[in-house]
Amino acid sequence: MGLDSSMLEDLKEEVLHANLMLVEEGLVRLTWGNVSGIDRDKGLFVIKPSGVAYENLTADSMVVLDLEGEVVEGKMRPSSDTPTHRILYREFEEIGGVTHTHSVNATMFSQAGCELPCQGTTHADHFYGTVPVVRELDEAEVAEDYETNTGLAIVECFREKEINPVEMPACFQKFHAPFTWGKNAIDSVKNSVALEVCAQMALGTWQLNADQGGLPRHILDKHYLRKHGAGAYYGQS
């Protein structure tokens, strides 16, 4: 393509670090997860290679692709979930990183096909409302292009339910596992950590009080908007 993808060295390092965070945060077993990050100016994204153990990953092993799915740089095959990441970057133009894991608690929600309503302020700090379930793919979609159609199903869900992907950077793919995204690769991993913890907290909450009706809207608004709203005041400027 004639593009100098060597200029993406910083992004490769960031995506490497983000993938290693999956192990550090206990979100993956074996090679069950992947993180990518995109350079919007260049129209290129970086993702981990398929099936490579995390301890063997290096910045040089990361794979660089364009938004058509063509490999620009890299000697190994990219993650098998690359088409899903590509669709999310193409359709959710505000995002800069994508994470996919099979973390235990969030994957239980995915397999059960259960959405995650906001149960408390920890959830509200990261997700503005109920984390949705994306429908399972039909037989034709799986046979045609499983990973691409997974991405398209996520986009379909968010558009049909009029969910803002910036305000809700997560979903449960039914029978599969969770996907999260964020402003960059590291941020997408942090949202994956938050989703896993919130899923675990919700399961414990319902065990203690099956009638817990969810966080009142005014508290949800306060906690989400104080971190993410126009007048946000959490953290340092």
Which residues are marked as active site?
Answer: 125, 234
**Beta carbons within 10 angstroms of residue 67's beta carbon:** 14
On whether the CB atoms of residues 153 and 135 are closer than 8 A, the answer is yes
Residues 6+ apart with CB under 8 A from 26: 103
DSSP class of residue 61 equals: G
Tokens representing 46 are 């970086």
Three-class SS state of 149: helix
Per-position b or e across 188-217, b if 16+ CB within 10 A of its CB: bbbbbbbbbbbbebbeeeeeeeeeeeebee
DSSP class of residue 79 equals: P
**Cα angle at 42 between 37 and 44, to 5 degrees?**
40
